[in-house]
Amino acid sequence: MDDFLTGIAFFLIIEGLVYALAPSFLARMASLLPRIPESQLRLSGLFAVALGVLLVWSIRG
């Protein structure tokens, strides 16, 4: 459970940094999001999940 909460904390830190350091970039990226096909968003999300799992597995292994 500690690892899960640490992961959530790191996510919040990184997300907060993006909002604090580059809010206009984030707003531009958000405006482009509806133009990206759903299948491409889904594939990108699955790739990110797989990469995250591989990173955790390699770090813990």
- pLDDT value of position 2: 86
- pLDDT value of position 39: 97
Q: Which pLDDT tens digit goes with each residue over 9-58?
A: 999 999 999 999 999 999 999 999 999 999 999 999 999 999 999 998 99
Give the ranges where the chain is alpha helix by DSSP (H).
2-21, 23-32, 38-60
